[in-house]
Structure 1
């Protein structure tokens, strides 16, 4: 399946400011980038650097005044999609090095404090069945409420308030999976069924790879139910939203607008 993606956003700064951007679909084996174009306002400094786990790229800027970004691409998704509920978990000692940090607490995902909860609520499940049960529990207990959270909202805050946006749903799923000793990471992405259309966030969990005996693989899970893994284009991954924000400003800035459109071709 091929997606047509376009995104525009702008921000401004009163003085020269360092800004880190990550908004382009990643060129990785499970998704092939076709026609793509990125247009940026001229800046004092502009350089590309690898993103987390070498999935996608970030762009370092140093700019002053208004800065506009325009991006378009066609992305063909070629992802294996096993039945999540049938996948087994790997024991911690079987985890590859890349997965270890995704078992630990991070800024927005305090997993250790949820260990008693997950055992009480999901104690009869393991592996992919546990993740599927967590996803369903979030869907049943949380309200999708734009404007209900902010940049400092953690998974604990969302758990208490039982509401949030895609970012918060992803943080809660990541947190409860890690509390279950299942590596989980935050994924920034594009998907066509997101309402309202915007940059989206889902989770990925590290479970058995059904195509490789004894192997493991990352599998997309969206607690909001809006993104189908078959039609989801990854931008980047991280421990939580702090690692993969589409715009991180290292100084005062004013965000002006964003527009995102994702369609199936």
Structure 2
């Protein structure tokens, strides 16, 4: 499936004009970038590799008090999707070294705190069937409520409040998976069908020797997503980071299928 992405951003910057951006679609397995362009007014751009070598991050050194940006891309999503319940959990001793770190708790994903709950609730299941049940539980139990969380909200906070947005759903999914010994990481994507359209966060779990996308909000299918970046938790996949506060003038994200 081909999708078109159109992002427009306009921010007033603080005293530090250096901005870190993760908005370009990654060139990685399961998706081919047919074309993409980015324009940032009055800016010098430096690119560095993203987490684990997946995707790129942009250092934008803006010489204006405002950052005005436009990003457009056409992506052919070729990702094959397997039913989760057909996938197996890999023994820990067989996990690749670059996957092991996604078994551990992180600052915003306190997976060690969920050991008792996930055993009581999902202990009768295994592998991908367990992940599918976790995904369904989160979608059913959480209320999608914009404004109910912020950049410091952790998986424990979301579990307690049962409210959040996509980043909170993804972090809770990762917390559950890591608690049962299944590596999981947070992923930023452009997702067809996401409502309201925005930068979207999902989870990715390691099963049967590979990474598999899981959206516990239920809004986007893995074969309708274009991956941007991955990380330990939502803090690693923020689309924009600044050292000093930036004020939003305007932002829009559009993801559409190509007829």
TM-score grouping bracket, smaller chain normalisation: over 0.9
Given the alignment of the two structures, is residue 53 of structure 1 paired with residue 67 of structure 2, yes or no?
no
Rounded to whole Å, the distance in 2 between the matches of 1:226 and 1:177 is 20
Bigger mean CA offset, 255-264 vs 69-78: 255-264
Bigger mean CA offset, 126-135 vs 16-25: 16-25
Contact 2:151-2:235 within 8 A present in 1 as well: no
| Match of residue 160 from structure 2 | 160
Contact 2:16-2:243 within 8 A present in 1 as well: no
Rounded to whole Å, the distance in 2 between the matches of 1:87 and 1:7 is 35
TM-score (norm 1): 0.94
Rounded to whole Å, the distance in 1 between the matches of 2:143 and 2:246 is 30
**CA-to-aligned-CA distance 1:131-162 (integer Å, 9 cap, x gap):** 00100111121111111111111111000000
| Match of residue 73 from structure 2 | 73
Contact 2:14-2:244 within 8 A present in 1 as well: no
SS class of match (1:6): strand
CA-CA distance at 1:61 after TM superposition: 2.1
Rounded to whole Å, the distance in 2 between the matches of 1:223 and 1:196 is 16
**CA-to-aligned-CA distance 1:145-193 (integer Å, 9 cap, x gap):** 1111111111110000001111110010011000011000000000110
Given the alignment of the two structures, is residue 231 of structure 1 paired with residue 230 of structure 2, yes or no?
no
| Match of residue 102 from structure 1 | 102
SS class of match (1:14): coil
CA-CA distance at 1:97 after TM superposition: 0.7
CA-CA distance at 1:37 after TM superposition: 1.1
| Match of residue 178 from structure 2 | 178
The ranges of structure 1 where at least 4 consecutive aligned residues each deviate by more than 6 angstroms after the TM superposition are none
Contact 2:171-2:186 within 8 A present in 1 as well: yes
Superposition map of 1:69-148 within 5 A: 69-148=69-148
| Match of residue 192 from structure 1 | 192
| Match of residue 6 from structure 1 | 6
Contact 1:9-1:70 within 8 A present in 2 as well: yes
CA-CA distance at 1:255 after TM superposition: 2.8
| Match of residue 244 from structure 1 | 237
| Match of residue 221 from structure 1 | 214
TM-score (norm 2): 0.96
CA-CA distance at 1:244 after TM superposition: 1.3
SS class of match (2:170): helix
CA-CA distance at 1:17 after TM superposition: 3.1
| Pairs aligned (count) | 257
- 5+ long unaligned stretches in structure 2: none
Contact 1:18-1:251 within 8 A present in 2 as well: no
Contact 1:19-1:62 within 8 A present in 2 as well: yes
CA RMSD after TM alignment: 1.1
- 5+ long unaligned stretches in structure 1: 209-215
CA-CA distance at 1:76 after TM superposition: 0.3
Of the candidates 233, 247, 254, which is equivalent to residue 254 of structure 1? 247
